[in-house]
Amino acid sequence: MKNKHSFKEWLIAVRPWSFPASAMPVVVTLAYLYWKEAGVDWLNGVWALVNIVCFHAAGNTWSDYFDYKRRVDAKDTFGVKTLTGGMFTPQEIYALSWTLLCVALAMGIGLLWRTGLPLLYVGVGGLLCSLLYPALKYRAWGDVVIFFAYALLPTLGTSYAVTLSIDWETLYLALPVGLITVAILHANNTRDIATDHRAGIRTLAMILGGRASSWIYCVEILFPFGWLTGCVVGGTFPVWCLLVWLAFIPAWVNVRMAVSYLKFGADSIARLDEMTAKLQLLFSLLFSLSFLLAGLLS
């Protein structure tokens, strides 16, 4: 068993390809506040972005550790193989998780010192989401935790961190971005219904069953386009936000893949979580760009 690891291996361990799920709500919120001319403190904005990514990295390794110990992850399951493939020992991943969590907490305390007490409540909420996620995920609450951790808390927390006031209208942003983020987990759980059942845990996908879970995924992917269009028509968002419809074609490809599960089973959606993560990144980048264009051209 080797004790030294390359930088690439440590990078694999924290799953950086998943970071857009936490980073994009912050980026979209910053772009939105720029459009609103809310007086953004950009240093605090970058600080908040790096901070939530650190929390995300800690949460990834924390979840991987408990998934391995609980035998949710095994050699025959999909997903990252840092533990099941023997790249790291459980003790190494556990220590990495606590190290990342300490870094994230130190950064959070620094940002709290620069802002004020309301950010403490957001930070405590994020910390609890990270620590309690494995236990709640095994009891079918994972989708709810992800929506709080990677939609509601980042948008509200970012708005306070950069303006020193909470802009409740940022929740209009949280819903579409958050639903696609939740769809990443939902795709994963739908694919893993059989292996999760073997591990003795419960997920929302298991409770709903494969057929209903596939249709729920379709709603999570398609509803954000309708919601955003409604916000443009209602005057909440600038017309530039219709640019997100450029992401509809990959969204429709994902929907068709999700529906194929009904006929071909889990193997047909083996990469659906990865493709959903890419969709979330594209959707969020277009969403952010639309606010930047609206702000520059207004």
Residue 207 belongs to domain spanning = 8-297
Nearest to 46 by CA among 68, 30, 34, 59: 30
* Cβ–Cβ under 8 Å, residues 147 and 186: no
H helices of the chain, in order, are 7-14, 20-35, 42-69, 90-114, 118-137, 142-147, 153-163, 171-191, 193-199, 204-208, 210-233, 248-264, 272-297
86-112 pLDDT, tens digit per residue, is: 889 999 999 999 999 999 999 999 999
Residue 102: inside a domain: yes
146-179 pLDDT, tens digit per residue, is: 999 999 999 999 999 999 999 999 999 999 999 9
Q: What is the 3-state secondary structure (H, E, C) of 88-136?
A: CCHHHHHHHHHHHHHHHHHHHHHHHHHCCCHHHHHHHHHHHHHHHHHHH
Cα–Cα distance measured from residue 74 to residue 71, given in angstroms and rounded to the nearest whole number = 6
Residue 1: inside a domain: no
Residue 3: inside a domain: no
The pLDDT mean for the chain works out to: 93
* Cβ–Cβ under 8 Å, residues 154 and 112: no
pLDDT for 36 equals 93
Residue 2: inside a domain: no
Residue 43: inside a domain: yes
The list of the chain residues with pLDDT below 50 reads: 1
Residue 253: inside a domain: yes
pLDDT for 76 equals 65
Cα–Cα distance measured from residue 56 to residue 215, given in angstroms and rounded to the nearest whole number = 28
pLDDT for 1 equals 44
Cα–Cα distance measured from residue 229 to residue 98, given in angstroms and rounded to the nearest whole number = 42
Question: How many folded domains does the chain comprise?
Answer: 1
**Radius of gyration for the chain, computed over Cα atoms and rounded to the nearest angstrom:** 19
Total-model pTM: 0.93
Residue 25: inside a domain: yes
pLDDT for 212 equals 95
pLDDT for 37 equals 86
Residue 69: inside a domain: yes
Q: Report the Cα 88 to chain-centroid distance in Å.
A: 24
Q: Report the Cα 75 to chain-centroid distance in Å.
A: 25
